[in-house]
Chain A
Amino acid sequence: MTDPAEPAWPQFSQGRPVAGTGWKQPPGQPGAAVPRPDDPTVVDASLIPAPDPTPVAAEPAASKLCLQCGGEVDTDGYCTQCGAKAPTEREHFEESPAAWVGAVCDRGVKHARNEDALATDADEAMGSRAVLVVCDGVTTSTDSDVAALAAARAARDVLVEGRPEDMGTPASRSAAVSGLFARAAAVANDAVAHHTAAGEKNPAACTFVAALVLDNVVYAGNVGDSRAYWLPDSGDGAILTRDDSMAEDSIASGVPRKQAETAADAHTITRWLGVDAADVVPQVASMHVPGPGWVLVCSDGLWNYASEPSEIGKVVSDAVGTANSWREKSRQAIAQPPATESTVSTPVEIARAMVNWAIAQGGHDNISACLARVGDKPVPAAPVVVDGEIATSKIMPSGASQTDQPSASANGVREPVAATTAYDPITHEPVPATTPLEG
């Protein structure tokens, strides 16, 4: 074999090739690994220089995962596998303040910005204490995405003060909670105003809905058309809030819900937060958790596709199935999943599946879904009502006329309503029932 360092170069000297030194083909492999072009066994592909094995994106920081395919998101904001655009923090965010609470807020498909916002808080023990707030910014107003997020967070920060230990007896609690909701809405309204420039022609505006879970009692209040639902694992669910919208006004006057909610002006809201808002005191209702189920707080980007409690209840149960199958898939992807890895999906995964479902329906609006899982453990009996005032009210049932709702009190706060656990005499499933009012 020729010494690679000692090739014999074909010589050209004094204008004449040196005899016998011609370079028809190179001898051996001088110097660096030069392929032998005369070797018929060498395949062409091997003559091409080897590719650099360095990965394209050497950024180790990209730990965000793609919502579409689970691939890694590059620092350029797109998935390294499927190329899907990763949403910004504002376009898609998730919260899970405790294992039984999860929330997902997403831009959807059709809107350029995510003007929905949410904020949550919770204590560790299921059913003990949770705050779920959604604000849906009005698209036609300026900076409503910024204002809605500020409003949701400001309201949350007020509602976290609602701690059972600070609120005395269950009877005095309802009054305290009504005051808390009123203050939360007022602070949220201030936050919207704070993000509105003086003289703005389209001042920022947003809806407000909040649910406060305290010792298995759910309080819900709203301004606008974002909603809170009670969705039990079995039996009928209920809408805990009453929209401030043209549609709801029609329903109140007897138009069927489906027809009212698909009318041209259905989405025109009659109350909102913003510098031009007249009345921002939420109506607050309450319900004692009757059994296992979900408290859902959401924007119309979700409920537009499933308004009836029975419909949206099915969306939740389907989402549980979807989220469980994701979990199973990701478990299978890992050779040996840690023993601690649960096979049961979390509320935030279920909320994500619900948001994906809404996107699959067209994602015409921004989508917010906050879920709190309650009632898995036996629930203590409903608190005994000591106050004398009794109203014959119940949780607003789907499609029902709302004429039997308690009238607003002088300060505009609807009296909280409590539900005891009532059981269907035939199915023995818990159902929301007519209950006496807490003070």
Chain B
Amino acid sequence: MATFTSTVYQNEFLPDGGTDVNAIVRLGVSGAGRAGASGKAPGEIIIVDTSGSMGQVNMAAAKNAAMTAVDTIADGTFFAVVAGTHEAYLAYPMVRTGRGMVEMNPRTRAEAKQAISWFNAEGGTAIGAWLNLARALFGSMGDALGNKHALLLTDGEDRDESQADLDMAIRASMGVFQCDCRGVGTDWIVSEIRKVSSALLGTVDIIPDPSRMAAEFASIMQASASRGVTDAELRVWVPQGAQVLFVRQVSPTVDDLTARGVPVNPLTSGYPTGSWSDEERDYHVGVRLPAKALGQEQLAARVQLVVDGQPVTQGLVKATWSNDAALTTRISPEVAHYTGQTELAAAIQEGLAAKASGDEAGATTKLGRAIQLAVASGNEEATSKLKKVVDVVDAGTGTVRLKRAVDKADEMALDTASTKTTRIKG
């Protein structure tokens, strides 16, 4: 039986007339069990880019990785394999109609690997069409499935459909299935794929070396299989007259959920968080309240995790107005840390965008700020990846020089890692 916990980090004291409350709410799950623990079988779809740009080496590696993924999927899981080009094809199961996914067993595993072995790099890239097929395949199973998860591999830009097509496909898939995305090589666009992974509650990363692909696929499948708590929703209640300024996931990665809020009732919004394994996630909630008299205490937000329509844990964000400056001027270390991590993610992404557009001064400023934040907060991954793109003159003041020759893969790795945050230093 899964157990759920919540911890709130905040300074609840507001000065006279103060209105804005910031809090970090840490939600935790333990005893989540394996995917399918809820009684419904999990569903997995492997989406492999088979466009012509994959070429011999990447295609071979992708086939190998897809087969490894099929090997990793547990018996009893329903699955399908999609081949993606400028159109989307159901590579396995080889059915023409009806249910588009089959149960994993030694026979279907062998058949699927056989089908994958015939992949041939040819055609273009239309990622929205791939997502549409995956969504239709999950849909063909009715409500038989619990966790619905896809793994998407691409090597190129989404050229063969409009951005509107892609956006439409992403929006239609939100809340239907989760999707982890991986890019191989350096011809794909990080921001484009991050759009997919963020909206579909998954991860994004670069696989610079095709030989690492199989191990990466296996670990994604293992992680997916460990998510025993299905379709949890974050709910944020604020009092009448208050306003949600923002709701952000800030750990393990930064993801702004604000615009994804769906009203549950006039005072409560729900934000999908997908499935959970045994893990902790931190959320930064900002609420604006009407100021109350000194000495008054009130609730600024109820932050809940809701599973199967039932709140399973709740963190209370409070506000107390005080004229004691010693209390009101304190900043919660957790709030400060994650405010910095959020700024770090933005500084990296904006710095790389400035660099790509030829704005060297802007890039230098942004990436300088990024190294300053990364070093100060002890974010070693961001620090080491930044150092492959810039020469650090003084991390303390954020003084850097852009490197003359930068490996594109290093830049992309920095971009994909930009949203990864560290926990506050002990």
Show the binding face of A for B, using Cβ within 8 Å: 5-18, 21-26, 29-35, 37-38, 44, 47-58, 69, 74, 76, 78-85, 109-110, 363
Contact = CB atoms under 8 A, between A and B. Distances in A.
A180 B119 CA distance: 100
Contacts of B138: 31-32
Contact of B94 (A11, A17, A55): A11
A6 B97 contact: yes
Contacts of B142: 31-32
Nearest to A52: B309
B306 interface: yes
Given A7-B140, A15-B120, A22-B88, A85 B314 contact: no
28 contacts: A6-B98, A7-B136, A7-B140, A10-B88, A11-B96, A12-B89, A16-B122, A17-B87, A17-B89, A22-B88, A23-B133, A30-B100, A30-B139, A31-B99, A31-B142, A37-B171, A47-B171, A48-B171, A52-B270, A54-B310, A81-B239, A83-B299, A83-B300, A84-B298, A84-B299, A85-B298, A85-B299, A110-B295
A26 B175 contact: no
A49 B118 contact: no
Given A22-B88, A32-B139, A37-B132, A56 B174 contact: no
Contacts of A110: 295
A346 B142 CA distance: 60
Given A83-B298, A85-B299, A110-B295, A23 B89 contact: yes
Nearest to B83: A12
A193 to B, nearest CB: 33
B24 interface: no
Contacts of A37: 128, 132, 165, 168-169, 171-172
Nearest to B171: A47
B267 interface: yes
Contacts of B132: 23, 25-26, 37
Contact of A10 (B87, B241, B264, B265): B87
Interface in B163-197: 165, 168-169, 171-172, 174-176
B298 A56 contact: no
B95 A9 contact: yes
A51 B234 CA distance: 12
Contacts of B293: 109
Contact of B298 (A15, A16, A76, A82): A82
Contacts of B161: 24
Interface in B224-240: 233, 235, 237-240
B285 interface: no
A51 B270 contact: yes
Contacts of A58: 310-311
A10 B133 contact: yes
A45 B272 CA distance: 15
Contact of A85 (B297, B302, B306): B297
Nearest to A81: B240
A103 to B, nearest CB: 24
B270 to A, nearest CB: 6
Interface in B131-177: 132-133, 135-143, 161, 165, 168-169, 171-172, 174-176
B136 A34 contact: yes
A32 B137 CA distance: 10
Given A31-B136, A58-B310, A52 B264 contact: yes
A78 B174 contact: no
Contacts, number: 177
Give 3 closest A-B pairs by Cβ, nearest first.
A12-B89, A83-B239, A22-B87
Given A24-B161, A76-B316, 12 more contacts: A7-B97, A11-B89, A13-B118, A15-B119, A17-B85, A31-B141, A32-B142, A34-B136, A34-B172, A56-B265, A69-B240, A83-B299
A7 B95 CA distance: 10
A51 B262 contact: yes
A34 B171 CA distance: 12
A277 B422 CA distance: 60
A9 B172 contact: no
A13 B171 contact: no
A23 B88 contact: yes
Given A54-B309, A56-B264, A9 B118 contact: no
Contacts of A51: 262-264, 270
Max chain A C-beta neighbours (<10 A), residue from B123, B138, B240: B240
Nearest to A36: B172
Q: A13, A31, A74: which has the most chain B beta carbons within 10 Å?
A: A31
Nearest to B316: A76
Contacts of B296: 84, 109
A78 B89 contact: no
Nearest to A53: B264
A278 B263 CA distance: 64
A29 B140 CA distance: 9
Contacts of A11: 89-90, 94, 96
A9 B238 CA distance: 46
Contacts of A12: 83, 89-91, 115
Nearest to A13: B94
B204 interface: no
Given A32-B139, A44-B171, A76-B314, A56 B96 contact: no
A308 to B, nearest CB: 26
Contacts of A78: 298-299, 302, 316
A370 to B, nearest CB: 25
Interface in B246-264: 262-264
A109 B320 CA distance: 11
A383 B314 CA distance: 64
B262 A363 contact: no
A120 B172 CA distance: 64
A56 B302 contact: yes
B172 A83 contact: no
Contacts of A24: 86-88, 126, 129, 161
Interface string B100-117: 100000000000000100
Contact of A56 (B95, B168, B171, B235): B235
B9 to A, nearest CB: 18
Contact of B174 (A14, A47, A79, A83): A47
Contacts of A22: 87-89
B267 A81 contact: yes
A17 B174 CA distance: 28
Contacts of A14: 118
Nearest to B235: A56
B239 A82 contact: yes
A250 B141 CA distance: 88
Nearest to B239: A83
A333 to B, nearest CB: 16
A251 to B, nearest CB: 31
Interface string B313-344: 01010000000000000000000000000000
A48 B174 contact: yes
A64 to B, nearest CB: 15
Nearest to A25: B132
Contacts of A76: 299, 302, 314, 316
Given A17-B85, A30-B136, A49-B175, A10 B298 contact: no
Nearest to A35: B172
A109 B295 contact: yes
A269 B350 CA distance: 68
A279 B423 CA distance: 62
A69 B264 CA distance: 22
Contacts of B89: 10-12, 17-18, 21-23
